[in-house]
């Protein structure tokens, strides 16, 4: 068991590092385990069993220079449900970098805004702070720039070590690997600065590397997500990538290229490199996919299209687009892309032109299979990681079926996840779970909604005696998947 870290190990952070270490973003000092938490309303459903895991940055030592949330040491916050009882835990992921800085008693890395000062041996710190994926009884903490897959015990949050499958590949793994919960296979991609610039792999239910192939891209790219269907993986080649001149100088500067198409590559789950088929679409960045599935000859993918910022004359403002992407300020619309494997045809359409929705979730038991419902947050047009409400969408029509936002202003939700009820009778028979920070009241809660109708508001709201800083991605791990099979 990882020993708890006492609060006095933390340096106080002043205003020197920018706004994203202050207020709702400020890290917490302690690791804890809490039970008997007071209910503000409702009751914990008895048919909700499993754990909601949410990753995010929680910087431990004062940064070396300017700070970006991608730099913060990964901390996992967990709400575990068992027969109507709730346990909250939080733990840092014990990455190699965490251990190194723990021994040094200070930051030994430079962040994404200080890459010119970065170390020659490790340009950036793999903080494992971005995404949580549940596979083969383990929770995996992943990093957006491709790094190691840190395996955690989903109950204790103890860091067990690195995924042997990813280590065996000789490469890394990006955030947003996808798990087919029916086959219990994990599909992942790795990307980097060296040709062929991407690899694609599959980990079997036994935790062993089953498939691993290079994917040729035109140059170093910055994909953020991927998708799977029952028989295929969908890999992303997007027109937002490093400024080639800045890259030569070792600087981290991203550019949007409005004349370069978006490409999605469809590869059979265990396909060879040359079996990938690329489909072109209108230029855009995509942070997050909702889900994908097959329909006859079509591969269908629903996601959040990052809408390029435009000048007054309608032309794309490439600089502002790249800057907003880098600052995690999102202008996204729910979008539907289709790829015909027989004819090679591409189709795309906007599903909801009105709302800026992101950080999508759905019933992950159906990853890669048709899902009618998605649950997304109302994203701020200007602020980083501040999400004021939760919406349920019909992914086939783009209709918002129900929604909830707190009546208080400045209330921010974490990325919610759908959790099936025991013995579900339908795709949406279950709950939507999210942490919520009420800034006016300085109050943290855990909110549980009936996924069939968010308009009712939470069916249970639990008061949390500790703050949970705004963060990144979560996942739901049903109780029957929490036992390690390997
Ligand atoms: Fe992400």
Query: If you measure from the C-alpha of residue 46 to the centroid of ligand 1, how many angstroms do you get, rounded to a whole number?
Result: 31
Query: If you measure from the C-alpha of residue 20 to the centroid of ligand 1, how many angstroms do you get, rounded to a whole number?
Result: 18
**pLDDT digits 0-9 by tens, 244-273:** 888 888 777 889 999 999 999 999 999 999
Query: If you measure from the C-alpha of residue 144 to the centroid of ligand 1, how many angstroms do you get, rounded to a whole number?
Result: 7
Which numeric CATH code is attached to 7-481?
2.130.10.10
Reported as a pLDDT band with limits 50, 70 and 90, residue 11 is very low
Work out the number of other CB atoms within 10 angstroms of the CB of residue 236.
Answer: 25
Reported as a pLDDT band with limits 50, 70 and 90, residue 8 is very low
Predicted local confidence at residue 466, as pLDDT: 93
**pLDDT digits 0-9 by tens, 398-429:** 999 999 998 777 889 999 999 999 999 999 99
Higher pLDDT among residues 12 and 92, named by residue: 92
Whether residue 151 has pLDDT greater than 60: yes
For 11-32, give one letter per residue: b (16+ CB within 10 A) or e. Answer: eebeeebeebbeebbebbbebe
Write phi, then psi, for 322 (nearest 5 degrees). -65, -40
Query: If you measure from the C-alpha of residue 104 to the centroid of ligand 1, how many angstroms do you get, rounded to a whole number?
Result: 30
**pLDDT digits 0-9 by tens, 303-330:** 999 999 999 999 999 999 998 888 888 8
Query: If you measure from the C-alpha of residue 475 to the centroid of ligand 1, how many angstroms do you get, rounded to a whole number?
Result: 12
User: From CA 300, how far away is CA 363, in angstroms rounded?
Assistant: 17
Q: Mean pLDDT check: name the lowest of 4-13, 19-28, 441-450.
A: 4-13
Query: If you measure from the C-alpha of residue 328 to the centroid of ligand 1, how many angstroms do you get, rounded to a whole number?
Result: 10
Query: If you measure from the C-alpha of residue 310 to the centroid of ligand 1, how many angstroms do you get, rounded to a whole number?
Result: 24
What value does the mean pLDDT take over residues 218-225? Answer: 95
**pLDDT digits 0-9 by tens, 454-482:** 999 999 999 999 999 999 999 999 999 99
Contact 315, 295 (CB under 8 A): no
Query: If you measure from the C-alpha of residue 163 to the centroid of ligand 1, how many angstroms do you get, rounded to a whole number?
Result: 20
DSSP 213: E
Predicted local confidence at residue 7, as pLDDT: 44
Whether residue 5 has pLDDT greater than 60: no
Query: If you measure from the C-alpha of residue 204 to the centroid of ligand 1, how many angstroms do you get, rounded to a whole number?
Result: 23
Query: If you measure from the C-alpha of residue 43 to the centroid of ligand 1, how many angstroms do you get, rounded to a whole number?
Result: 31
Query: If you measure from the C-alpha of residue 137 to the centroid of ligand 1, how many angstroms do you get, rounded to a whole number?
Result: 22
CA angle 260, 264, 267 (to 5 degrees): 145
Whether residue 6 has pLDDT greater than 90: no
Predicted local confidence at residue 321, as pLDDT: 92
Query: If you measure from the C-alpha of residue 289 to the centroid of ligand 1, how many angstroms do you get, rounded to a whole number?
Result: 9
Query: If you measure from the C-alpha of residue 288 to the centroid of ligand 1, how many angstroms do you get, rounded to a whole number?
Result: 6
Query: If you measure from the C-alpha of residue 481 to the centroid of ligand 1, how many angstroms do you get, rounded to a whole number?
Result: 23
CA angle 432, 484, 59 (to 5 degrees): 60
Query: If you measure from the C-alpha of residue 314 to the centroid of ligand 1, how many angstroms do you get, rounded to a whole number?
Result: 28
Query: If you measure from the C-alpha of residue 313 to the centroid of ligand 1, how many angstroms do you get, rounded to a whole number?
Result: 31
What value does the mean pLDDT take over residues 359-385? Answer: 93
Whether residue 14 has pLDDT greater than 70: no
Residue given tokens 């300085």 in the structure block: 442
What value does the mean pLDDT take over residues 221-226? Answer: 96
Residue given tokens 């062929």 in the structure block: 196
Query: If you measure from the C-alpha of residue 28 to the centroid of ligand 1, how many angstroms do you get, rounded to a whole number?
Result: 22
Global pTM?
Answer: 0.95
Query: If you measure from the C-alpha of residue 32 to the centroid of ligand 1, how many angstroms do you get, rounded to a whole number?
Result: 26
Query: If you measure from the C-alpha of residue 277 to the centroid of ligand 1, how many angstroms do you get, rounded to a whole number?
Result: 24
Query: If you measure from the C-alpha of residue 126 to the centroid of ligand 1, how many angstroms do you get, rounded to a whole number?
Result: 15
**pLDDT digits 0-9 by tens, 100-137:** 999 999 999 988 888 777 777 777 899 999 999 999 99
**Which whole-number Å values give the CA distances from 253 to 89, 198, 319, 327, in the listed order?**
36, 20, 11, 12
Query: If you measure from the C-alpha of residue 6 to the centroid of ligand 1, how many angstroms do you get, rounded to a whole number?
Result: 30
Query: If you measure from the C-alpha of residue 370 to the centroid of ligand 1, how many angstroms do you get, rounded to a whole number?
Result: 22
Query: If you measure from the C-alpha of residue 425 to the centroid of ligand 1, how many angstroms do you get, rounded to a whole number?
Result: 30
Please give the biggest Cα pair distance in the chain: 63
Reported as a pLDDT band with limits 50, 70 and 90, residue 12 is low
Whether residue 9 has pLDDT greater than 50: no
Reported as a pLDDT band with limits 50, 70 and 90, residue 212 is very high
Predicted local confidence at residue 486, as pLDDT: 52
Q: What sign results for the dihedral spanned by CA atoms 456, 461, 467, 469?
A: negative
Write out the DSSP string of 323-392. HHHHTT---EEEEEEEEETTT--EEEEEEESS--EEEEE--GGGTTS--SEEEEEEE-SSSTT-EEEEEE
- The residues pairing with 56 across neighbouring beta strands, listed in sequence order, are 75
Query: If you measure from the C-alpha of residue 454 to the centroid of ligand 1, how many angstroms do you get, rounded to a whole number?
Result: 24
Query: If you measure from the C-alpha of residue 360 to the centroid of ligand 1, how many angstroms do you get, rounded to a whole number?
Result: 10
User: From CA 103, how far away is CA 91, in angstroms rounded?
Assistant: 18
Query: If you measure from the C-alpha of residue 142 to the centroid of ligand 1, how many angstroms do you get, rounded to a whole number?
Result: 10
Query: If you measure from the C-alpha of residue 419 to the centroid of ligand 1, how many angstroms do you get, rounded to a whole number?
Result: 20
Predicted local confidence at residue 55, as pLDDT: 98
Query: If you measure from the C-alpha of residue 359 to the centroid of ligand 1, how many angstroms do you get, rounded to a whole number?
Result: 7
Pairing of strands 357-361, 373-379: antiparallel
């Amino acid at each position: 068991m990882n020993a708890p870290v006492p609060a006095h190990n933390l340096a106080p952070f002043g205003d020197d590092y920018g706004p994203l270490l202050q207020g709702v973003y400020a890290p917490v000092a302690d690791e804890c385990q809490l039970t008997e938490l007071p209910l503000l309303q409702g009751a914990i459903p008895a048919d909700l069993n499993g754990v909601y895991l949410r990753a995010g940055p929680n910087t431990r030592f004062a940064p070396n220079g300017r700070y970006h949330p991608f730099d913060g040491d990964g901390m996992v916050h967990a709400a575990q449900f068992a027969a109507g009882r709730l346990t909250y835990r939080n733990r840092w992921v014990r990455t190699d970098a965490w251990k190194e800085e723990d021994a040094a008693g200070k930051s030994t890395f430079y962040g994404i805004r200080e890459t010119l000062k970065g170390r020659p041996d490790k340009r950036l710190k793999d903080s494992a702070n971005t995404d949580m994926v549940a596979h083969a009884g383990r929770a995996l903490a992943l990093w957006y720039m491709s790094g190691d897959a840190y395996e955690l015990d989903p109950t204790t949050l103890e860091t067990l070590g690195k995924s042997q499958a990813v280590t065996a590949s000789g490469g890394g793994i990006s955030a947003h690997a996808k798990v087919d919960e029916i086959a219990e296979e994990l599909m992942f991609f790795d990307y980097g600065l060296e040709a062929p610039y991407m690899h694609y792999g599959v980990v079997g239910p036994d935790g062993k590397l089953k498939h691993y192939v290079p994917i040729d891209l035109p140059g170093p790219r910055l994909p953020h997500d991927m998708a799977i269907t029952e028989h295929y993986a969908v890999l992303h080649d997007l027109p937002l990538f490093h400024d080639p001149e800045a890259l030569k100088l070792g600087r981290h500067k991203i550019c949007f290229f409005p004349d370069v198409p978006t490409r999605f590559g469809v590869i059979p789950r265990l396909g060879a490199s040359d079996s990938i088929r690329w489909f072109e679409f209108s230029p855009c960045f995509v942070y997050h996919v909702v889900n994908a599935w097959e329909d006859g000859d079509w591969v269908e993918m629903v996601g959040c299209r990052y809408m390029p910022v435009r000048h007054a004359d309608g032309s794309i403002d490439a600089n502002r687009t790249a800057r907003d992407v880098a600052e995690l300020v999102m202008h996204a619309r729910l979008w539907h892309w289709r790829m015909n494997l027989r004819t090679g045809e591409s189709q795309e359409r906007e599903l909801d032109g009105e709302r800026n929705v992101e950080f999508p979730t759905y019933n992950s038991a159906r990853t890669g299979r048709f899902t009618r419902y998605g649950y997304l947050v109302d994203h701020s047009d200007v602020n980083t990681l501040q999400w004021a409400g939760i919406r349920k969408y019909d992914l086939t029509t783009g209709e918002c079926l129900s929604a909830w936002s707190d009546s208080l202003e400045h209330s921010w939700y974490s990325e919610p996840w759908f959790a099936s009820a025991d013995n579900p009778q339908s795709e949406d028979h279950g709950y939507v779970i999210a942490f919520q920070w009420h800034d006016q009241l300085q109050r943290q809660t855990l909110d549980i909604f009936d996924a069939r109708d968010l308009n009712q508001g939470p069916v249970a709201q639990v008061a949390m005696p500790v703050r949970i800083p705004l963060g990144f991605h979560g996942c739901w791990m049903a109780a029957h998947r929490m036992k390690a099979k390997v």
